[in-house]
Homo-oligomer: A and B are copies of this chain.
Amino acid sequence: MNGTMNEKPFAQTAETVRNLESLRIETPPVTLREMALDRLRDAIIAGLFNPGQRLVERTLCDQLGVSRSVIREVLRHLETEGLVETAPKQGPIVALIDWRQARQIYDVRIALETTAVADCARNADSRTKEKLKEILQDLDRNSRKNDALTILAATTDFYETIFLSGGHEIAWDIVKRLNSRISRLRVMTLSTTNRTVSGPARMREIFNAIERNDPDAAAAACRAHIEEAARIAQSLLVPVDQPKL
């Protein structure tokens, strides 16, 4: 359990131990719960369920082929993530989001992403810059397709690289979780033709600022990137009388 294991008859150098570590069969005790969690989360993010739709436990059992114990633990997890709400006297439903919440999420993203981007501009090494460059190049090549999901994936890669290069795993976790809550908005936002053009353009602005180690410019471009998305999201959410989405 700890380092006080009885010594083997031959000397184990640190090198040896490291090699043995790499030999270790990554025991993936993939539990049903983990699989069900990923499945259900992906389904909600992909929009397979509509916001506000009830998630009846026994129905999910049939659909996922697992027992209620598993489903309930998964639902608790997704509830804590904010993807599922539990309506009183009704049970779990897919979380609803209104413009008020969405605006808050964009605000938190601005706070965290501008920080990460500026930090990256200050400290990024050449490997990081190279990786960002590649992501943008791939995006340019594929942007002809106007495929919202492709752009979304590239955008995620882009920001993940930025966050993780600076060792900001916790902030990235938070951003990821927030993004999952506005996944519909993100897809709809990207489907706007404006956006499929300007999004990558904004990201290139950010990259350029990072490449020339200009934290302030990078942060400004990042803020603009998110504010632009927020404006489109608002136009999608607010006009309707009942801002249900």
Q: Which residue of B lies closest to A26 (CB)?
A: B88
Residues of B within 8 A of A168 (CB): 104, 107
Q: Is A20 at the interface (CB under 8 A from chain B)? A: no
Bits for A102-141, please: 1 = Cβ < 8 Å to B, else 0: 0011011011100100000000000000000000000000
Q: A108-B112, A115-B111 are in contact. Are A101 and B29 (CB under 8 A)?
A: no
Judging by beta carbons under 8 Å apart, are B170 and A29 in contact? no
Residues of B within 8 A of A27 (CB): 88-89
Q: Is A231 at the interface (CB under 8 A from chain B)? A: no
Q: Is A76 at the interface (CB under 8 A from chain B)? A: yes
Bits for A139-165, please: 1 = Cβ < 8 Å to B, else 0: 000000000000000000000000000
Bits for A80-105, please: 1 = Cβ < 8 Å to B, else 0: 11000000110000000000110011
Oligomer: number of copies: 2
Identify which of B69, B167, B171 contacts A108 (C-beta below 8 A): B171
Residues of B within 8 A of A105 (CB): 170
CA distance A210 to B76 in the complex (A): 39
Residues of B within 8 A of A100 (CB): 167
CB distance from A187 to the nearest CB of B (A): 21
Q: Which residue of B lies closest to A173 (CB)?
A: B82
Identify which of B101, B107, B115 contacts A107 (C-beta below 8 A): B115
Q: Is A56 at the interface (CB under 8 A from chain B)? A: no
CA distance A110 to B107 in the complex (A): 14
CB distance from A57 to the nearest CB of B (A): 12
Identify which of B3, B77, B89, B170 contacts A104 (C-beta below 8 A): B170
With contacts A2-B242, A77-B79 known, what are 18 further pairs, Cβ within 8 A?
A29-B88, A72-B73, A73-B73, A76-B76, A76-B80, A77-B80, A80-B80, A80-B81, A101-B170, A104-B167, A104-B168, A104-B169, A107-B168, A107-B171, A110-B115, A111-B115, A111-B171, A174-B174
